[in-house]
Amino acid sequence: MKLSTSLVGVKKINSNVPRSEFSEDELNLTAELILKAEGIINPLVIRRTSRESYEVVNGHFEYYAAVKAREIDPRKGEMIGAFIIESENEEVLMDQIKVLRNRDFNNESQVADTQPLNTVESSNKVIQFESLLPEIESLIDRKLQLISSRISEHIDEFVQKIEPLLNQPEKVEQKEGDKTPIEKPDYDIMKLSQLKSIAKERNIEGRTKMTKKEQFITALNKADASRK
């Protein structure tokens, strides 16, 4: 029994592993490499399910990369290399899968998956990050809103405290010794009755004996001079 690969139509093959398990970026990259090399160095291992159809036993990542290659270029990507499990070679192929292709994997299933470990881990991390991204963005938005709200509250408090100070009338500091000048009334234009009233308010000495306007003016001027 000689082991050799066969070219099988990609559209005749199916996989029971969802395509979403793998990174589309990595599938695109591998598909481009398959088209450039016009083949794959890591053939699929498939089992016949009917006369014209197969299922992937090992190499689900490579299968979906081949599907992507066919989507990009239907002519070049029409066929893919694969080991077909037949009754005469099934035992030895499954043994090789367990020894060679499952060596770096923790796979409890007897059906192996040839997707490289680092690809699985990378894909899982990408999926996990993408699922967490909306939560992270929402958390950042809430934090920013909270910070903005607190800043606004502090600004309002500051304005409330400083506004009364800004609205206070300006106080003019009066130096010691400065006195507001007193405007001297013009007694000459006043009537005698007005002069008598002022003299009474200021308690001018001898006012009861005064009878003439000139007497009151002289007494009031003298009193004004003594106040300076």
Residues 109 and 38 in one domain: yes
Q: Are 58 and 114 in contact (CB under 8 A)?
A: yes
Q: Does 160 reside within a domain?
A: no
Q: Where in the sequence is the domain holding 15, given as residue range(s)?
A: 6-124
59 φ/ψ angles, rounded to the nearest 5 degrees: 105, 40
Residues 206 and 112 in one domain: no
Q: Does 129 reside within a domain?
A: no
Angstrom distance (rounded) from CA 23 to CA 18: 11
pLDDT by 10s per residue, the chain, length 228: 567 789 999 999 999 999 999 999 999 999 999 999 999 998 999 999 998 999 999 999 999 999 999 999 999 999 999 999 887 778 878 888 887 776 544 443 444 454 555 565 666 677 777 778 888 888 898 889 889 888 988 888 888 888 777 777 665 555 555 555 556 778 888 888 888 888 888 888 888 888 888 888 888 888 888 776
Residues 18 and 116 in one domain: yes
Number of domains in the chain: 2
* DSSP SS3 for 178: coil
- pLDDT, residue 120, reads 56
Nearest partner of 22 among 153, 101, 126, 173, judged by Cα: 126
Q: Does 27 reside within a domain?
A: yes
Angstrom distance (rounded) from CA 10 to CA 12: 5
Q: Does 136 reside within a domain?
A: no
Q: Are 95 and 56 in contact (CB under 8 A)?
A: no
Of the residues 84, 102, 124, the one at which a domain ends? 124
Residues 99 and 21 in one domain: yes
The pLDDT tens digits for 140-161 are 988 898 898 889 888 888 888 8
Of the residues 72, 104, 124, the one at which a domain ends? 124
For the chain, the first-to-last Cα distance in angstroms comes to 137
Residues 114 and 223 in one domain: no
Contacts of 45 (CB under 8 A, 6+ apart): 56, 57, 58, 59, 82, 83, 85, 93, 97, 101, 112, 114
Residues 10 and 117 in one domain: yes
Residues 195 and 90 in one domain: no
Q: Which amino acid is at 38?
A: E
Residues 197 and 100 in one domain: no
- pLDDT, residue 212, reads 86
Q: Does 202 reside within a domain?
A: yes
Q: For residue 63, give the CATH number of its domain.
A: 3.90.1530.30
Residues 199 and 111 in one domain: no
Residues 110 and 13 in one domain: yes
Q: Does 153 reside within a domain?
A: no
Q: Counting Cβ atoms within 10 Å, is residue 104 exposed (0-12), middle (13-18) or buried (19+)?
A: exposed
Q: Does 140 reside within a domain?
A: no
Q: Does 176 reside within a domain?
A: no
